[in-house]
Chains A and B, each alone.
Chain A
Amino acid sequence: MRLPRKYLVNRLVTLFLTVWIAATLIWIIPRLSPVDPADIMLGRMAAGAGAVENADAILEQLKENFGLNDPLVVQYVKYLKNIVLFDFGLSTATFPTKVSSLIARALPWTLGLMLLSLVITFFIGNLLGALMVWSHSPRLVRVAIPAAMVFTSIPPILSGLLLMWVFAAKLRWFPLTGAYGLTVEPGWNWAFVQSVLHHGFLPALSIVIVTFGFWALGMRGLMITVQGEDYVKLAEAKGLRPRYILYKYMIRNAILPQITAFALKIGLLIAGQVLVERIFAYNGMGKLLYDAILDQDFPVIQGVSFVIILMTAVSVFLVDLVYPFIDPRIRHEGATS
């Protein structure tokens, strides 16, 4: 089976436009702020050294280096060119580190932790949501799941702290903070991977506990609708096994809108769990963004925001590509419209 070309072109144009408009907004918004980044850098130098000589000359030099004296149009075009090359300039807070290398260092950690916990949450949440509705679920399951929903109302920092206190501080099963142990050498060796998994467990668990309810509740609503559909009634009348009906007739149809929600969540999850990364001192994108905001480090904020948007747009695009394969009705639409 092949996708209609028109459908592909359509989605690609949407992807490109989304990213372009968002990149432009990211560029405009900081320029509306009265704060001058060169001033901040100078202020930081002054704070470090006690006093700065030739302050005006240095300020002028910084502005020149950052290209802040160019006309806006030139700045914009340069910006677009750089962004295509993933060059977000230099961080002002940790001058002269490249923003792109800061992001490159943080991104794998967040992707690893967040994507993994999102995938786990997606599966657990949807399965539990489906079991809440399925008439053949054990009674215990149908009572226990709504009770577990209580966790959804706990803010992630609280659940994180609670988990840290129980499993790291009291039971000492897991390390308190950090992304990997100080004694292991980063690289593709078993000791390191083990350490990463060990360190990632608690933050991931705290995210799973507080977010599975989102998927479970959504799935529950979708399952109730699907349960009333005639094809589910006919499936039962066909004498199919209840578990087969659950997977192939009910979940298979109810999951479709959840997959779209999954794509949207991928972009948000980078920014969404800032506090979890913060309390576990996990050096991911959330922490990078958090620190950048505190330091008014505009290039980093810009770079992180762009990565978030790019990830969201790309994952939505990917879901659009996958969707026709999981829902034949979309293929039909794409072919005729």
Chain B
Amino acid sequence: MTDSGGKPVLTLKDLSIEFPTPQGIVKAVKSLSLTVHLGRRVGFIGESGSGKTTTALGIMQMLAEPGRISGGRIDLGGTDVLGLSDEQMRLTRLSRIAYIPQGAMNSLNPVMRVENQLWDGVVAHEGKIDPDELKRRSGEALASVGLGAHVGRLYPHELSGGMKQRVCIALGMILGPELIIADEPTSALDVVTQRQVMLTLKDVQTRIGSGLILIGHDMGLMTQSVDELAVLKDGVLVEHGTVRQIIESPQHPYTQDLISSVPLVGGDSFLNPSTRAAAPERDSREPLLRFENVSKVYGEVTALHPVSFTLQGDTPQIISIVGQSGSGKSTMGSIMLGFNPPSTGRVLFEGHDLLRINAAETLKFRKNIQAVFQDPYACFNPFYRVRHALRYPFKRFGLARDEAHIQAKMEEACGAVGLDPDLVLPRYPHQLSGGQRQRLIVARALMLSPKLLIADEPVSMVDASLRATILSNIYDLKDKYGISILYITHDLATAYHVSDYVMVLFKGHVVEAGPPKQVIGDPQHPYTQLLINSIPWPDLHRSWGRDEAGWDPTAEEARAAEAPPKLRGNVPGFDLVVQ
């Protein structure tokens, strides 16, 4: 490394962290050595379990029991962190090292006003302070992250996810620390908000001149945000260098995998379509699913403005619905699944109104429309083995001929998603990884031979390297089994590769729709352009706006709200009508 910034603020020397468990000692971090300089941004990248968060918590001396530091040194600007007493360490936190935690949604105390949560941090380090002085400092901190002073008087539930995370950044800088550790600060946010929060963080860090450790698993976000990258795998630092070195000539095969697993718009597809199966036989001539002027209103908020479309179901298609959180895309999904009655209009399944169908029709509807949801951890009943979770719906829908038939079907479905049935069927859900569980959800849907699969953010909670696998499993459902798919996502790059048709939703309106090569490859509507520009590209030549401190999407969003919807090309079997 040539340009190393200011003097070292954090030096890790042979840092090792272990967790003694009844099954033996788990070494979470193995002999890690690294230096962070003042004014520099260092990214820790790796998959879950790679030890990146554990390292951060080790530096903070906040390891969860029974974790302990088993060797090495942590030097913070000349202070030996491991030699500090509990009280000295408490005083070091926030004033010298600030930590911005992962869960933006939940990291503020719900029963305390925002300003009180800024004040108690100051008071804990500086003792009693004049209230006016406190008020001035909290107002200043909020202003530095682009929030008005009135935000201080609010409670956390009155803030959006992006605002909460900016409050956490304000808290992190209020005592002017030497080092900020941000642990996946934008993992729960959509691309536009992510861009705004990251630019705020970079701006604040530059202003106070501290070092920054950014923890994450998204190569694109890292490329846009940091100066140096440290790649961790299984607790070992496998590669460390400037972003340019790592992006342009990654040395370690794991780093190469991480970079290549990021789906790019326009890049090579990670899918390899083999066959193009015909749609399953249907006993109805009516279109599979039809929205007639469907809208949804919650109180005074219109989540979905009237929209009409017809999905024939005779030509299997993958239709993507993309947009930010709050755009109405998940509302649309739950209306399709019949979980959420529309405020106006009708949803027709093979010509029958979902609100008026009888019990037998409902059963048929449920069998034919299956779903894959975002959280693979919450989708299984933890008390039953996987075998039960797979066979029960199959029997319930009356598809099983006998035990041998069920077994054969389960094995086939597991095989289709690349899992070994002998290995997964006898297990309980908690014994499987998130990726395995999500593939089992796909397998379970496949067993019922549905005609339509609704996949709501199926890969957003899964590690990047597994996303491609799960998406190709889902893609295979169309390719090999002829099942139509509605793919709901905020990830435009995957939508670009997977889908045949894309609808972009903005504040409940369809603003742009058409084949992905046109809509995502060459966006015409200002909102689609905003989304595409906010994607963090793992490409140094395609900047997100490095110098746009205080970037605020409000103006662009206002412009987008004015623009008329753009309807691009069509695909067979899907017709969209927008008022």
Contacts and interface: CB of A to CB of B under 8 A. Distances in A.
Interface of A: 135, 229-231, 233-242, 244, 248-249, 252-253, 326-329, 332, 336-337
Nearest to A232: B109
B111 A327 contact: yes
Contacts of A230: 101-103, 106-107
A241 B124 contact: yes
B94 A237 contact: yes
Contacts of A237: 60, 62, 93-94, 98-99, 101
A79 to B, nearest CB: 43
B120 A238 contact: yes
B450 to A, nearest CB: 36
Contacts of A326: 111
A299 B280 CA distance: 72
Contact of A239 (B101, B125, B299): B125
B108 A231 contact: yes
Q: Which 4 A-B pairs have the closest CB atoms?
A: A239-B93, A237-B99, A230-B103, A230-B107
A336 B110 contact: no
Given A231-B110, A239-B121, A253-B111, 14 more contacts: A135-B65, A230-B101, A230-B102, A231-B108, A236-B93, A238-B93, A239-B94, A239-B124, A240-B124, A242-B90, A326-B111, A328-B157, A329-B110, A332-B157
Contacts of A337: 299
A328 B110 contact: yes
Contacts of A327: 110-111
Contact of A238 (B111, B171, B299): B171
Contacts of A240: 90, 120-121, 124
Interface of B: 60, 62, 65, 90-95, 98-99, 101-103, 106-112, 120-121, 124-125, 155, 157-158, 168, 171, 299
B58 to A, nearest CB: 13
A8 to B, nearest CB: 19
A235 B112 CA distance: 12
23 contacts: A230-B102, A230-B103, A230-B106, A231-B107, A235-B109, A236-B62, A236-B93, A237-B60, A237-B94, A237-B101, A238-B93, A238-B124, A240-B120, A240-B124, A241-B90, A241-B124, A248-B109, A252-B109, A253-B109, A327-B110, A328-B110, A329-B110, A337-B299
Interface of A is mostly: helix
A244 B93 CA distance: 15
B84 to A, nearest CB: 12
A336 to B, nearest CB: 6
Given A328-B157, A336-B299, A234 B108 contact: yes
Nearest to A229: B106
Given A230-B101, A244-B124, A239 B157 contact: no
A233 B94 contact: no
A252 to B, nearest CB: 6
A243 to B, nearest CB: 11
Nearest to A336: B299
Nearest to A237: B99
A239 B110 contact: no
Nearest to A252: B111
Contacts of A135: 65
Contacts of B110: 231, 253, 327-329
A238 B94 contact: yes
A246 B91 CA distance: 17
A249 B107 CA distance: 11
A239 B92 contact: yes
A332 B155 CA distance: 10
A27 B157 CA distance: 46
B120 A244 contact: yes
Contacts of A244: 120, 124
A29 to B, nearest CB: 38
B106 A328 contact: no
A328 B101 contact: no
B103 to A, nearest CB: 4
A233 B62 contact: yes
Contacts of B98: 237
A240 B65 CA distance: 19
Nearest to B110: A329
A213 to B, nearest CB: 25
A253 B121 CA distance: 19
Q: Which of A252, A326, A328, A336 has the most CB of B within 10 A?
A: A328
A237 to B, nearest CB: 4
Nearest to A228: B64
Contacts of A328: 110-111, 155, 157
B109 A329 contact: no
A249 B90 CA distance: 16
Contacts of B171: 234, 238
A237 B157 CA distance: 21
Contacts of B107: 230-231, 233-234
Nearest to A255: B111
Nearest to B92: A239
Given A239-B91, A332-B158, A233 B101 contact: yes
Nearest to B120: A240
A33 B398 CA distance: 50
Contacts of B91: 239
A248 B90 CA distance: 17
B104 to A, nearest CB: 9
A327 B109 CA distance: 11
Nearest to B98: A237
A246 B120 CA distance: 14
Contacts of B299: 336-337
A252 B168 CA distance: 21
Nearest to B91: A239
A240 B106 CA distance: 18
Nearest to B61: A236
A230 B171 CA distance: 15
A25 B103 CA distance: 49
A75 to B, nearest CB: 46
Contacts of B102: 230
Nearest to B157: A329
Contacts of A238: 93-94, 120-121, 124, 171
A248 B65 contact: no
